[in-house]
Amino acid sequence: MVGFIVIAAVAALAFAVINYYGVKRKDAGTPEMQQIAAAIQEGAKAFLVLEYSVILKVVVLIAILLGVVVSPTSAIAFVFGAVMSASAGWIGMNIATISNVRVSNEARNTKSLGKTLRVAFRGGSVMGLSVGGFALLGLALVYLVFGILMKQVSPENLKFHTNWLGISDIPFTMTISAYALGCSIIAMFNRVGGGIYTKAADMGADLVGKTEAGIPEDDPRNPATIADNVGDNVGDVAGLGSDLLESYVGALVSAMILAAYIYFSRGGIEASLVAKLIYVPLLVAAAGILSSMVGIIYLLVKKVSSNPHKELNAATFVGAGLTIISSGFISYFIFRGEALQTIGFSLGAFSPWVCAVLGIISGIFIGQLAEYYTSYDFKPTQRISASSVEGPALTITEGMSVGMISVIGPVLILGIAIIAANITAGLYGVAMAAIGMLSFVTVTVSVDTYGPIADNAGGISEMAKLHPDVRGITDELDAVGNTTAAIGKGFAIGSATLAALSLFSSYLYAQAGENAVHGADMILNMVNPLTLVGALVGGALPYLFSGILIKAVANAARKMVQEVRRQFKADPGIILGTSLPDYKTCISISSAGALAEMKVPAIIAVLTPLLTGFLFGAEFVGGLLIGTTLSSVMLALYTANAGGAWDNGKKYVENGHFGGKGSDAHKAAVVGDTVGDPLKDTVGPSLDILIKIMAIVSLIAVSIFSKYNLFSLLMN
């Protein structure tokens, strides 16, 4: 079985290599295009190198702590997870900065929307395949080396062990939790750092270039335009890839951990069954990767129509459909004949499959809802555009209303999926629903990465002054990318919620420790003041986190605005196109701003559960996790959808409605878009990570602070 999993992961990575070189061998266009692309690539690489150098110190510190306090195997798994996640982010950024110019050139050479779409999607698929491949390969290797070879998944080892500090844990659950933490740490820095970078550059470029100087988007005269394009790669590619990789790993790990705890707590379960419960998530993931590969191939070989959105959806649906079919076979053939009623599987061998399908369907519905609330093809966004006629105040008000209303739908869908999955297969079913939603992550990340590649291609086409028809093609692909981005965000939040809830279930098991066999200690008592206060603090935490992020973007954007103004003032030739702006200074401002500002939010995310755990104990942290998860989900949905709706509300006006470009409605819509930018691209995505990283950190540390915390010390 492990062989099949490894083969699927390696096949994905091999396919990624094929697509990587398939894109790379394409012509990169005119010297001017290559020069622009090189500047973007150089900026993106420089930022990731700086960012990774900061992360390296954090990774080394945490690895040492884990090695000393928990176990050397967890330290190794942690580093392994970090390396896998960082690799996916790096490769994604790399292929995105190679693809952008080639997409632009394909449009220039062929004037064909379909052929250009194919190059952009092939580039995006490298990131998708890397995310799926690296995540699964890493986890499969951890399972193989630590689980099988070091016998951590042997029945005799699936019980609590006590280390030299007196801390008890199940070694296998700790090892894979540490692997997930490694992924989370990278995701946190990539998402937060990338999010601050990209919005500081974007806002800086727009506020002076477009609004004050009257120059259009992606104009080479704008000193911040290269930084803006760099931001797409470090934020929307590396950040998003690491984020979804982390969710994917988190979902898989939570199911595997739950399987181990179920075996420990229930007793009377065959060892062979628990082994299946542990590796089935990996098998479903492997099937999802192979299905996604078929979806990707489908789009790459078929004759592409002139409707890019439909084509991208088709690739996703092929991947999702095949995942549903293949995971059904896996579920049936693995679990048939097993005594599943003992572990609460109400639909027999198909129980895990039903849960996975619930996850897949929920993901699709949540994506569709996100599209409904953020696409200008539908009323909510059109109403924001209409409100813009009356000025920016109503644009903001209407957008807030759309964002707030948009929260209830996905939450109800998640609620139904959670209850149905729980009835079908207990907490393990909830984890399987998360896995289902993320099982075809390879194709969804491919589609998501296509967006920033197309966006960059549009930028290069503009900057290189390519023929208007070429710019029309890249603009159209870019517009589709905005919609796929909004759907992707809905998907990311939904999957993060399910993954976080699964991890929270594992936390309850870990908190109960050896008492989990009695069941009663699994209950989190909300009447307990510690739990209640923990929930209150947890509810407030995402607001603190988001506030700091918005301030960080504003700080960096302010510096960018000042620099762009300074350059325009110092050299009027920049605007006239007779002299080149200093792009590098703007890139440095974004880089420095992001690197300086990302530390505090990241530290808050990692240290809050630790600090409060050591002060107030596990009950408080349990409440904290519930509060943070609930609050973050609402805030993430609100910010992502409001921001997306403001963005597309502006685009609707720009498409010639309510006066179009240059109208007062447009000016108001631009204000809405600018307000929404840090919400949808920095805050929302970072909240996904916040809930997962806090759950993972708590899961790892609960056995420590359950034993050592100030509150217990004082009370006893």
Partner 1 sequence: MNYYYVIFSPIEALIASQLEPKAFGAYMARGSKKGSAERLMFAEVAGEFGDDFDWEYAKAKCVTHASGEVKHSVYLSIYRVIEHIPLKQYRNVYLVNKDGSTLCLEAAPYTTPGNWRGYGLYKEHCPVHPFIVSSLEPKALSDYIINDATKKITVPAIIFNDVRVIDFNEKEDTGNIGSMFERDLDHLKDCIATVQNKKDKITKTVDRSFDTRFSYQIIDNGIYIARGKEIIFYPMLSADQIKEVDYDWGRSANFF
Residue 127 CA to residue 132 CA, distance in Å, equals 9
Binding segment for partner 1 among 123-131, 291-299, 395-403, 651-659 (CB under 8 A)? 651-659
SS (H, E, C) 145-180: HHHHHCCCCCHHHCCCEECCCCCEECHHHHHHHHHH
> Is position 465 an interface residue for partner 1 (rule: CB under 8 A)?
yes
Residue with tokens 């519905």: 365
Binding string to partner 1 for residues 184 to 223, with x set by CB under 8 A, is what?
----------------------------xxxxx--x-x--
**Of the candidate residues 72, 415, 468, 547, the single one contacting partner 1 (CB under 8 A):** 468
Residues ≥6 apart with Cβ < 8 Å to 83? 138, 182
> Is position 519 an interface residue for partner 1 (rule: CB under 8 A)?
no
Whole-Å CA distances, 592 to 406, 555, 556, 560, 585: 35, 11, 8, 11, 10
Residue 117 CA to residue 108 CA, distance in Å, equals 13
Q: Where does residue 375 rank: exposed (0-12), middle (13-18), buried (19+ CB within 10 A)? A: buried
> Is position 415 an interface residue for partner 1 (rule: CB under 8 A)?
no
- Minimum distance between the CB of residue 463 and partner 1, rounded to whole angstroms? 11
Binding segment for partner 1 among 13-21, 148-156, 370-378, 655-663 (CB under 8 A)? 655-663
Q: Residue 189: CA atoms inside 13 Å, Cβ hemisphere, count?
A: 27
> Is position 665 an interface residue for partner 1 (rule: CB under 8 A)?
yes
For partner 1, which is the closer residue by CB, 651 or 680? Answer: 651
Binding segment for partner 1 among 491-499, 537-545, 649-657, 702-710 (CB under 8 A)? 649-657
- Minimum distance between the CB of residue 227 and partner 1, rounded to whole angstroms? 20
Strand partners, 168: 162
> Is position 368 an interface residue for partner 1 (rule: CB under 8 A)?
no
Residue 417 CA to residue 413 CA, distance in Å, equals 6
Residue 433 contacts residue 3 (beta carbons within 8 Å): no
Binding segment for partner 1 among 289-297, 360-368, 515-523, 652-660 (CB under 8 A)? 652-660
Binding segment for partner 1 among 170-178, 565-573, 610-618, 676-684 (CB under 8 A)? 565-573
Tell me, by CB under 8 A, how many residues bind partner 1. 29
For partner 1, which is the closer residue by CB, 42 or 217? Answer: 217
Which ranges of 308-440 would DSSP assign to H, the alpha helix?
Answer: 308-335, 351-374, 379-388, 392-439
> Is position 90 an interface residue for partner 1 (rule: CB under 8 A)?
no
For partner 1, which is the closer residue by CB, 256 or 575? Answer: 575
Residue 240 CA to residue 232 CA, distance in Å, equals 10
**Of the candidate residues 568, 620, 646, 705, the single one contacting partner 1 (CB under 8 A):** 568
Please give the sequence-ordered ranges of beta strands (E in DSSP) within 50-207, or none if there are none. Answer: 161-162, 168-169
Residue 494 contacts residue 410 (beta carbons within 8 Å): yes
- Minimum distance between the CB of residue 104 and partner 1, rounded to whole angstroms? 16
**Of the candidate residues 122, 191, 309, 657, the single one contacting partner 1 (CB under 8 A):** 657
Q: Please give the residues from 375 up to 394 whose contact with partner 1 meets the rule CB under 8 A.
A: 386, 389
SS (H, E, C) 199-232: HHHHHHHHHHHHHHCCCCCCCCCCCCHHHHHHHH
- Minimum distance between the CB of residue 385 and partner 1, rounded to whole angstroms? 8
Strand partners, 298: none
> Is position 658 an interface residue for partner 1 (rule: CB under 8 A)?
yes
Q: Per the structure block, which two tokens stand in for 528?
A: 């307990």
Q: Per the structure block, which two tokens stand in for 316?
A: 């996703």
**Of the candidate residues 21, 27, 572, 607, the single one contacting partner 1 (CB under 8 A):** 572
For partner 1, which is the closer residue by CB, 72 or 572? Answer: 572
Site residues (CB under 8 A) for partner 1? 212-216, 219, 221, 386, 389, 465, 468, 471, 568-569, 572, 575-576, 654, 656-666
